[in-house]
Amino acid sequence: MEFKNVKAIALGNVYFEGKVVSHGIVMPDGAKKTLGVIMPGSYHFDTEAAELMEIVKGECSYVLDGSEEVVVVREGSEFKVGADAGFTITVTGEPCHYVCSFYE
């Protein structure tokens, strides 16, 4: 995946003692994305904006808050999380690389 003519935010977002790290980019149209890596483990996130998570390398599973359904997402696949929601993401094995797009 490649992005052209973007503004990169050099300061990273570091979560869970460095086990999840992302960097922000701003697209030419003003849309925001983060590019990151998730090390093996299980992590809970809350959302403000709706998110589209694209898995570019590795795999993970997730459970949306209020659900018990575990959904496995592999390289080349994606999942959505609504605004003002939450989810638990779990990675086993190799690190999981992702692109997160924020949308309305």
CATH number at residue 89: 2.60.120.10
- For the chain, the distance separating the N- and C-terminal CA atoms, rounded to the nearest angstrom, is 22
Note the pTM of the prediction, 2 decimals.
0.92
Q: Domain count for the chain, please give it.
A: 1
Residue 77 lies in a domain: yes
Instruction: Determine the average pLDDT of the residues in 45-54.
Output: 96
Q: What percentage of the chain carries pLDDT values higher than 90?
A: 93
- pLDDT at position 4 over 90: no
What number is the average pLDDT over the span 5-20?
95
Which residue range is the domain that position 63 belongs to? 7-103
Instruction: Tell me, yes or no, whether 1 lies in a domain.
Output: no
Rounded to the nearest integer, the mean pLDDT of the chain is 95
Question: What is the amino acid identity at position 55?
Answer: I
Residue 87 scores a pLDDT above 90: yes
